[in-house]
Amino acid sequence: MPKQRVRRIVVDGEVYRWRVRPVDPHWLTVRVWRDGERTPMADLRIPFDDPWVNYPVMLLAARHAPERFDEVFAREPVGPRHVANLIRVCVSQEWRCRTFEVVDGKVQPVSTPATQARNNVTNTDI
């Protein structure tokens, strides 16, 4: 399980803070703040299959389908490189939402009911 302390990172000359927390045995949440601000800039859901929690299932899969192990289980831990990339994506896209998830290795905004309603209103107005 990753440590849950708040860490400091400098990305493109700007200082940010970040923290990783487990959601469940298959997901982590990374929260990012601009240094000195209280409101998070982004929350990112990342797939991560904790080997300590999922050991029996992982062991069974490794025995019966070793060639598919890496496509079935997400085992790469979150590090500063991931967080720096998330920050760059959020800043470059200037998305209004702050909740994202990794889909097929790419950061995408999470579609919430409020976001969908706002998009439907805007699309009908055009």
Number of domains in the chain: 1
72 band by pLDDT with thresholds 50, 70 and 90: low
**Cβ atoms within 10 Å of 20's Cβ, excluding its own:** 23
pTM: 0.64
16 band by pLDDT with thresholds 50, 70 and 90: very high
C-alpha separations of 56 from 21, 45, 69, 76, 87 in Å = 23, 24, 13, 18, 35
Task: For residue 81, give its domain range.
Answer: 7-125
Q: What is the Cα–Cα distance from 28 to 126, expressed in whole angstroms?
A: 38
Q: Quick check: helix, strand or coil at residue 64?
A: helix
* Residue 1 domain flag: no
Res. 42: pLDDT tops 50? yes
Q: What is the pLDDT of residue 71?
A: 60
* Residue 2 domain flag: no
Helices (H), the chain: 55-64, 69-72, 80-93, 113-125
